[in-house]
Structure 1
Amino acid sequence: MPTQVPQPATWPLTGLERPANAGARARQAVAVKIENTSAARPQSGLEAADIVFEELVEGGVTRYNAIFHSQQPEEIGPVRSVRPMDPAIAAPFRAWLVYSGGVPQFEQRVRDEGLRGFNEDQAMGASYRVQWRWMPHNLYLSIPALLGKFGGAGATGAGGADSASNTAGDAANGATDTTEPEKIFEFAKSGETPSAVSTGVEAKQLVVNFPAAHARFDWNGSKWQRVDEGVASMARSRVPLQADNVVVVRTTTVATNALDSAGFPVPETVMEGGGQAYVATGGKIMDAKWSKDSVGSPLVLTDVSGAPIVLAPGQTWVELLAAGTFSYS
């Protein structure tokens, strides 16, 4: 019988090796709403997210719901408002959801789904306004400060995860015990080949066109470089925004009775059900299927025969393409 080589401990949302000094205690995942307009670029923190979801909002533009777990940046933003599909994005990760504010019915939905949500006021002490951008593009978040103030493993400093002083704040914000997020995607282990690399076709460029937001991902030989409106994207840290996996989910929207401040109707991306998807890894792309049974259930990716898809370890971007076009070449 061949000797089995022990696999190292890995982060559940990236599949990357988890350093021993990261600790064995459960670490809280945090989902943050981040703006995606020219006024918001370059954003802070996207380079450190484990998974980035791009979602359609009113006016045909997009925003991000970025999931942080393995890294905990002190500067994330600009933070913007909650949308009706955000609970269905955050819930499978057991994530705290941070946003600037929002329509009351959407904030209520966060609570109704049992999520711990923080608007700007509720995150006070961890959220802050910077002086180098105009409102409303200047709200930022520190995850270490959030965890330090309200609890959550991985927090450091006064009022950390085990501090009794967090009790009142936890109760006021609907806290639950800190739990490690469950693994949502399957990642290739040592010696294993990702599904798209094994069975996909070559692709050097992925083009994702929402009604009023146009982006692409260019394969640079090692990662997918994000390009927004024709300009290679990078974080404010000057780190390029590059994904190891790009997942395109074909879905639709339903109307809500809400309007934004400019009078545009707020759409809701359909997050439950299933349909067509594409998975791009390692300069190749494959046809796929997606399914999601409920708000709290994970997004499941399979090939067209129903077999689970294996991604490359690293950062994954998920394009929730509820309207618009997708192509690759």
Structure 2
Amino acid sequence: MKKWAVAMAAVLLLFSGCSNKEKENVQEPVKKEKVVEKVEDNKQEQEKQEYPYFYPLTGIGSTTETDGRAVAVMVNNHPKARPQSGLNKADVVYEVLAEGDITRFLAVFQSERPDNIGPVRSARDYYVNLAKGLNALYVAHGWSEEAKKMLEGNVVDNLNGMVYDGTLFKRSKTRKAPHNSYITYDNILKGAKQKKYLMEGSPPSFTFMSEDERKHVIGNDATSVQITYSKGGISDSILEFDPTLGKYKRFFSGGEQTVDLDTKEPVLIDNVFIIEAVHKIIDSYGRRDIDLQSGGRAYLIQMGKVNEVDWANRDGLIVPMKNGQEIPLVQGKTWVNVVPTSPGLEKSISFNVK
């Protein structure tokens, strides 16, 4: 009997242990699910808190403060000035005709600082106004008469190679004037300090879409875009959309890709904003007066798609509009191409060029 009692007790303990194990096995997935939910909640919370700051001209997030004055540099686009230095680091580039059929770039830096920028070229009044609208420190080498009056009248804080040639501005030995003037970012800051310019204060901000909205951009196909500035084609460019990057690569009229002279890094563009503006020849040199105030028609090209929009000057900042509402840009770098109303957008821009 004692043996039987001992055996029964052992059996009962065995079933009790199995029962407990079964309970543990039933409860285990519930515990795991709760852990997964907790991890997901923490992940979402981290994503929300990941970027408390954003750069005003790119919309790209940062864990540190993004305050700081923009710097706008006139960059030469003559064929003898290519490839240029620093364009790949610019938050925004304005490409506008200067004399004849050659464009110049106003390269605006705020989120990144290239070591070297150039070749630096001379100022024009409409570039000065663009820099003023961004509250940027304006950097050029030379000036037209109207631009000289504006700069000497302190319309905008500025550094000019006519004053600092050989000091802040250096001449490259591998190129000939006027295609050989360069300035480093360190020298820009040095010049600002010498002239007691304040370098705090951010530029006005564009409106940006979220990363999720970026994936759902709609419009007509624009995987390849050609911008024509003249019959000669010296400043024409082609933009090719790279779907793996979600960005546009830029090529000069001869097919050479736009890359940085020093690092060989390509210029990659997230927003191509092509605006139509009235151009008037004002002197025998072919200098122009360009209306960048009145607004007009435009194309906004993003993520391989194009939409016909309007443009407006919002307190000095040129922005895309539709039905009276500002249209958000894709986070990243933007090029604003200004073409004349004559011949106009339709004749200046071609899509899906092969």
Return the TM-score normalized by structure 1: 0.83
Partner residue of 1:132 out of 174, 188, 200? 174
Once the two structures are superposed, residues 86-145 of structure 1 have per-residue CA deviations (whole angstroms, 9 ceiling, x without a partner) of: 122111210011111112321212354720122104445332111111111110011222
Partner residue of 2:270 out of 215, 240, 244? 244
Within 2, Cα distance between the matches of 1:308 and 1:56? Answer: 26
Larger Rg: 2
Helix, strand or coil at the partner of 1:136: coil
Partner residue of 1:193 out of 214, 218, 226? 214
Structure 1 residue 310: deviation in Å?
1.1
Partner of 2:32: none
Quickly say closer, same or farther: Cα 1:188–1:126, change in 2 above 3 A: farther
Work out which structure has the larger RCO, using CA pairs closer than 8 Å and 6 or more positions apart in sequence.
Answer: 1
Partner residue of 1:14 out of 58, 61, 77? 58
Within 2, Cα distance between the matches of 1:205 and 1:306? Answer: 29
Once the two structures are superposed, residues 66-85 of structure 1 have per-residue CA deviations (whole angstroms, 9 ceiling, x without a partner) of: 10111111210000001121
Once the two structures are superposed, residues 196-217 of structure 1 have per-residue CA deviations (whole angstroms, 9 ceiling, x without a partner) of: x533122111110001421111
Within 2, Cα distance between the matches of 1:234 and 1:193? Answer: 25
| 1:232 is the counterpart of 2:257 | yes
Structure 1 residue 177: deviation in Å?
6.4
Helix, strand or coil at the partner of 2:61: coil
Once the two structures are superposed, residues 239-283 of structure 1 have per-residue CA deviations (whole angstroms, 9 ceiling, x without a partner) of: 1122111000011212324x5xxxx32012211101101111111
Helix, strand or coil at the partner of 1:178: coil
Structure 1 residue 187: deviation in Å?
1.3
Partner of 1:101: 142
Q: Percent identity?
A: 27
Partner of 2:350: 327
Check whether the contact 1:83–1:268 (CA below 8 A) recurs between aligned residues: no
Partner of 1:162: none
| Greater shift in the superposed pair: 234-243 or 108-117 | 108-117
Quickly say closer, same or farther: Cα 1:33–1:250, change in 2 above 3 A: same
Within 2, Cα distance between the matches of 1:113 and 1:148? Answer: 19
Partner of 2:40: none
Return the TM-score normalized by structure 2: 0.77
Runs ≥4 residues deviating over 6 A: none
Within 1, Cα distance between the matches of 2:154 and 2:300? Answer: 29
Helix, strand or coil at the partner of 1:290: strand
| Greater shift in the superposed pair: 139-148 or 120-129 | 120-129
| Paired residue type of 2:188 | L
Helix, strand or coil at the partner of 1:39: helix
| Greater shift in the superposed pair: 49-58 or 84-93 | 84-93
Partner of 1:254: 280
Quickly say closer, same or farther: Cα 1:90–1:57, change in 2 above 3 A: same
Quickly say closer, same or farther: Cα 1:137–1:233, change in 2 above 3 A: same
Quickly say closer, same or farther: Cα 1:326–1:96, change in 2 above 3 A: same
More helix by share: 2
Within 1, Cα distance between the matches of 2:327 and 2:144? Answer: 37
Partner residue of 2:77 out of 33, 36, 48? 36
Check whether the contact 1:73–1:144 (CA below 8 A) recurs between aligned residues: no
Check whether the contact 1:33–1:82 (CA below 8 A) recurs between aligned residues: yes
Structure 1 alignment gaps of length 5 or more: 152-165
Within 2, Cα distance between the matches of 1:313 and 1:123? Answer: 36
Check whether the contact 1:34–1:79 (CA below 8 A) recurs between aligned residues: yes
Within 1, Cα distance between the matches of 2:140 and 2:241? Answer: 32
Partner residue of 1:271 out of 282, 289, 292? 292
Within 2, Cα distance between the matches of 1:116 and 1:291? Answer: 24
| Superposition map of 1:80-119 within 5 A | 80-112=121-153, 114-119=155-160
Check whether the contact 2:217–2:303 (CA below 8 A) recurs between aligned residues: no
Within 2, Cα distance between the matches of 1:250 and 1:89? Answer: 16
Q: In angstroms, what is the RMSD of aligned CA positions?
A: 2.2
Within 2, Cα distance between the matches of 1:123 and 1:281? Answer: 40
| 1:289 is the counterpart of 2:314 | no
Helix, strand or coil at the partner of 2:190: helix
| Paired residue type of 1:8 | P
Check whether the contact 1:72–1:144 (CA below 8 A) recurs between aligned residues: no
Quickly say closer, same or farther: Cα 1:28–1:144, change in 2 above 3 A: farther
Quickly say closer, same or farther: Cα 1:186–1:319, change in 2 above 3 A: same
- For these two proteins, the number of residue pairs brought into alignment is 294
